């Protein structure tokens, strides 16, 4: 995994060796972490090439000591975007949920309760408190994902993090709606920030994104490998669709401006 933080490009390369008896220890885990400064005229390819040269010859490692290299990074918080008790977030949450479910009339804050909101529909209301729906069985899976989607979009708009991770939040949402939200995230992504986005929606391949943005997980003989689209995609997305038998892919978007 490559990611950006504080004008550096980091690479975490992890290998988990198989175990015949399905028991694992530190001997089965190999982790290497390298980094390089992002210079003024650098792009992803130039930085990645330097990381490739740094990875040559790295075999054995103490994964605990390697992970110590990340101690200064806010890894614990990068996937926790939270609920914001302000008017701007509430407005974004309402628009997000109404796009996903047109039957929603409004989203309002409950003044008597801390971090609490109410989703109002024609014949029912759903309470949200501390980021969780009290009676979530009344909403579809796609609408429930709207809470996480709104939090991620809000964080990207505010630039609260340098690394964002959106993992299959649109599994129950129409393809064109997913593409619309992803386009919004990309447009709002700040300089030197990254968005990791996983999906099964191959229509996203039609977005005008750099070919190194796409990575695929390919299963072959019970082994799952990561396929870089840059090795397959030359002129158009059809060549990639035909070359890689996949059911899942990840977008890795670098905004190193």
252 contacts 215 by C-beta, under 8 angstroms: yes
Other beta carbons less than 10 A from residue 38's beta carbon: 19
Which residue has better confidence, 31 or 226? 31
**pLDDT per position as a tens digit, 13-26:** 887 777 777 777 77
- Mean pLDDT value of segment 94-111: 87
- Mean pLDDT value of segment 33-57: 88
Q: What is the pLDDT of residue 55?
A: 87
3-state SS string over the chain? CEEEECCEEEEEEEEECCCCCCCCCHHHEEEEEEEEECCCCCCHHHHHHHHHHHHCCCCCCCHHHHHHHHCCCCCCCCCCCCCCCCHHHHHHHHHHHHHHCCCEEEEEECCCCCCEEEEEECCCEEEEECCEECCHHHCCHHHHCHHHHHHHHHHHHHCCCCEEEEECCCCCCCHHHHHHHHHHHHHHCCCCEEEEEEECCHHHHHCCCCHHHEEEEEEECCEEEEEEHHHCCCCCHHHHHHHCCCCCEEEEEEECC
Which residue has better confidence, 29 or 42? 42
Which residue has better confidence, 49 or 227? 49
Look over the chain and give the mean of its residue pLDDT values, rounded to a whole number.
78
Q: Which segment of 24-28, 151-155, 174-178 scores lowest on mean pLDDT?
A: 24-28
At residue 78, does pLDDT exceed 50?
no
pTM > 0.85: yes or no: no
**pLDDT per position as a tens digit, 184-196:** 999 998 887 888 8
At residue 136, does pLDDT exceed 60?
yes
With bands split at pLDDT 50, 70 and 90, how would you rate the model's confidence at 257? very low
Q: Which segment of 46-50, 112-116, 155-159, 245-249 scores lowest on mean pLDDT?
A: 245-249
Q: Which segment of 82-96, 140-154, 198-212, 233-247 scores lowest on mean pLDDT?
A: 233-247
């Amino acid at each position: 995994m490559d990611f950006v933080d504080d004008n550096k490009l980091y690479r975490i390369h992890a290998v988990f060796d198989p175990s015949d008896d399905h028991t694992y220890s530190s001997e089965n885990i190999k982790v290497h972490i390298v980094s390089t400064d992002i210079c003024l005229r650098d792009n992803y390819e130039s930085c990645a090439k330097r990381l490739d040269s740094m990875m040559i010859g790295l075999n054995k490692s103490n994964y605990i000591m390697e992970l110590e290299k990340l101690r200064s990074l806010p890894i614990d918080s990068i996937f926790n975007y939270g609920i914001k008790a302000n008017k701007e977030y509430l407005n974004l949450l309402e628009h997000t949920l109404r796009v996903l479910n047109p039957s929603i009339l409004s989203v309002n804050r409950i003044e008597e309760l801390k971090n609490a909101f109410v989703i109002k529909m024609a014949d029912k209301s759903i309470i949200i408190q501390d980021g969780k729906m009290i009676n979530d069985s009344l909403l579809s899976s796609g609408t429930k994902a709207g809470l996480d989607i709104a939090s991620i979009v809000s964080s990207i708009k505010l630039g609260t993090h340098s690394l964002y991770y959106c993992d299959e939040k649109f599994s129950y949402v129409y393809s064109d709606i997913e593409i619309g939200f992803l386009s919004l995230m990309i447009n709002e992504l700040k300089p030197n920030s990254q968005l990791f986005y996983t999906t099964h929606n191959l229509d996203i391949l039609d977005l005008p994104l750099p070919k190194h943005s796409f990575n695929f997980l390919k299963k072959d003989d019970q082994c799952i490998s990561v396929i870089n689209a840059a090795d397959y995609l030359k002129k158009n997305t059809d060549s990639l669709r035909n070359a890689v038998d996949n059911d899942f892919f990840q977008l890795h978007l670098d905004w190193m401006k």
